[in-house]
Amino acid sequence: MSWRDAMCGEPRAADVGRTLTLAGWVARRRDHGGLIFVDLRDHTGLVQLVLNPERAPDGAELAKEIRNEFVLRATGEVVARSPETVNPKLATGEVEVHVEELEIVSRSTPLPFQLDEENVDEMLRLRYRWLDLRTDRMQRNLRLSGSVVSAIRRRMEELGFIDFWTPSLTRATPEGARDFLVPVRLQPGSFFALPQSPQLFKQLFMVAGFDRYYQIATCFRDEDLRADRQFEFRQLDIEMAFAEREEVLAVLEEAVRASFEALGREPPPSPFPRLPWSEVMARFGSDKPDLRFGVEIQDATEVTRGSEFGVFANAPAVRFLVAPKAFSRAELARLEEVVKEWGAKGLAYIVVDESGEVRSPITKFLSDRELEAFKAEPGSTLLFGAGEPGAVARILGLLRVHLGDELGLIDEGRDEFLWVLDFPLFELDEETGGWTFSHHPFTGIAPGHEDLLESDAAAALSQAYDLVWNGWELGSGSIRIHRQVVQQRVFKALGLTEDEAKEKFGFLLDALQMGAPPHGGFALGLDRFIALLAGEPNIREVTAFPKVSSGADPLTGAPAPVPADQLAELGISVVEKKT
């Protein structure tokens, strides 16, 4: 017996007269007082079955029991529809199958929601995820995901990369988030950590002489969930020995282009644009700028030195945006409330109305030189930020994105990729007041900046790079440190003693003393990348079995308590959290 010899989306006019066996799920059943019509569905599409009691009396009787999402197997003749019943919205709309044999393979209980129902509560969707995954949306998304991963694998192997596997039980290393810990029954009080990335393992592959590594790696981070973040996620992980930065970037561009091609989309032109981090922050106020619209940040610090407007004169930095709209007072008041939520104290402005007339409460304090610098086209508004440079950049960067959305400035038909280069090596840890790493502690130092480690760490640049697509960070990478003495100096700058560095990273330091080649790599967040390719705002829509924002899994009920005897065997006791 064959369950089927054709898929539901395949029958066409050329098949008229053929007898086919189909199998799938019932999308809809309609009883027309004699004839019964059933829309049968699988992942390829939908076909109409016709059950006529004169042609198949047993099948027609059985069809009275059919409900949505029953699984059927049907054999019948492909027949052309009459011209007035052709359905141009269906690929199979010119034909129907007149059933001769019908079998109910599997029945369904009443459904918690219909597959074509809109605005279904997400918790309900995830609780019955097997049902949700049958919807056209989820079928499309997960199959798209599979196509992208297959295309990436093919391209990586064409480029000479080898697919390696790395352990999921490892040692905790500082990667910027909390670790998920795994207790060890044989060693009570000791724990494995689930990897936040295979960072050190892939570097060790380079030391071992495997000069082109890749992996579709599953990684784990215990951090708050959001639209683009899950506890567990996949990344395209690569590492290359004897490679310069441009060689690494070229490989990632190949992976991106292969993904577009696999989906029948025009791939973005290569090479992608490159900008240094300092310029990106100055122009866009974000290290992941959306380049599909303008409204760039402009600097007014120098021109406002000595200004009679005290807010400008006393601020370390003064910058502004020019919005292509003459805002009303009510609109400006709303914008001020928005920026205050981000930490701004207020929002100075100059409006140039459609006639070219200027209105603003601050112009009376500004010199002719300042007013000349702040000239703008009629029908626009200058919006100012004044304060510490980092805070001003952040707030104006957020305001820029807000304006892009509110004013419809973003060209949704464009794809803009960008490499952001030359990040600072360190950033200040607000909690400790000391230095912490911008990317990770194994990031290479920009040529000529090694001596800044001890003399001016704030000025030291790294060999790190990020890939950005339409305002979303897709991933990060860097040329790594391959000399043990330099790695020790970085650890020292981060506040680690020699003993602490040896305790945490002794195996890496040993490896770097035994013939480590220059190397670099990258990690591309696959789930985020696929969500963007699918046009989805949330990676849960491209993840088969995701967690919700609380960290819970509505499908399985995880996480869940475990029996006391199991905890005792692991040497663990649970401490009640005080409220």
The residues of the chain scoring below 70 in pLDDT are: 174-176
Q: pLDDT digits over 433-480, tens only?
A: 788 888 889 999 999 999 998 889 889 999 999 999 999 999 999 999
- Residue 80 — φ and ψ, nearest 5°? -70, 140
Strand ranges across the sheet with 212-220: 162-163, 212-220, 232-241, 519-525, 472-479, 464-469, 417-421, 274-276
Predicted TM-score (pTM) of the model is 0.92
Name, in order, each residue with C-beta under 8 angstroms of 451's C-beta and a sequence gap of 6 or more.
none
Q: How far is 437 from 426, CA to CA, in rounded Å?
A: 5
DSSP code, position 496:
-
Q: Which residues pair with 19 in a beta bridge?
A: 77
DSSP code, position 356:
S
Q: How far is 281 from 284, CA to CA, in rounded Å?
A: 5
CB atoms closer than 10 angstroms to residue 54: 8
CB atoms closer than 10 angstroms to residue 166: 18
Contact between residue 410 and residue 324 where contact means Cβ atoms under 8 Å apart: no
Q: How far is 122 from 550, CA to CA, in rounded Å?
A: 13
Question: What pLDDT is attached to residue 63?
Answer: 94
Residue 420: name the closest of 263, 565, 526, 272 by CA.
Answer: 272
Question: What pLDDT is attached to residue 174?
Answer: 66
Question: What pLDDT is attached to residue 440?
Answer: 87
How does strand 464-469 pair with strand 181-183? unpaired
Q: How far is 422 from 559, CA to CA, in rounded Å?
A: 41
Question: What pLDDT is attached to residue 6?
Answer: 96
Distance, CA of 252 to chain centre: 16
Question: What pLDDT is attached to residue 282?
Answer: 95
Assigned token pair, 225: 């969930």
Distance, CA of 168 to chain centre: 22
Question: What pLDDT is attached to residue 135?
Answer: 97
Helix (H, G, I), strand (E, B) or coil at 53: coil
